[in-house]
Homo-oligomer: A and B are copies of this chain.
Amino acid sequence: MRKLSMDELNRKTIAEFIDAKKFPISVILENIRSAYNVGSVFRTADSFLIESMIITGYTATPPHKEIKKTALGAEDSVQWKYMKDTSEAIGFFRAQNYRVFAVEQASESLSLEQFNFGENEKISFIFGNEVSGVDEKTISLCDGCIEIPQFGVKHSLNVSVAAGIVLWQAVSSYILKLSANKI
């Protein structure tokens, strides 16, 4: 085994990224306090070829020094918009036939390992504030909650780590269905 060189990674140019067919997955970031976390989600969204991202509430938007520091340029490849109200973002994705899920520890939530892509499904995931989570009002507008099961003393993950985990679950579910010709 040997590490791949930069040339072997087949990295896309920004133009190629924008043109590429994306995974049918989008993200809403609601009232995220740390711009570093926003940048880190951009970086993950780029890696996983996510369709688009909507930034809501008081979440910082590019151009922003701290976002740039953790996004490492992914704020230029990933398509994003700002909308003040999360309800507007939910409406925007619903109009494109996305189902919308809040990522939250909630009653009647679906445990993440049970999440699988359905045929022709498009999913939008909402990640909320680092301390208070997704707003109750936002949750009431969603198709459901998805929960990352947790077993420790904290029951709390960094929001950019949680986004990485949920986006990976969705992308990997999609890849497995694609490779089994089920999509």
* Residues on A facing B (Cβ under 8 Å): 1-4, 9-14, 16-17, 20, 40, 43-44, 46-49, 70, 72-74, 77, 104-109, 112-113, 133-134, 136, 139-140, 142, 144-145, 148-158, 160-165, 168-169, 171-172, 175-176
Contact indicator A49/B151 (Cβ below 8 Å): yes
Residues of B contacting A161 in the complex (Cβ-Cβ under 8 angstroms): 40, 43-44, 160-161, 163-164
Contact indicator A136/B2 (Cβ below 8 Å): yes
- The answer to whether A12 and B151 touch (CB under 8 A), given A1-B109, A1-B145, is yes
Residues of B contacting A9 in the complex (Cβ-Cβ under 8 angstroms): 105, 150, 155
CA distance A165 to B164 in the complex (A): 6
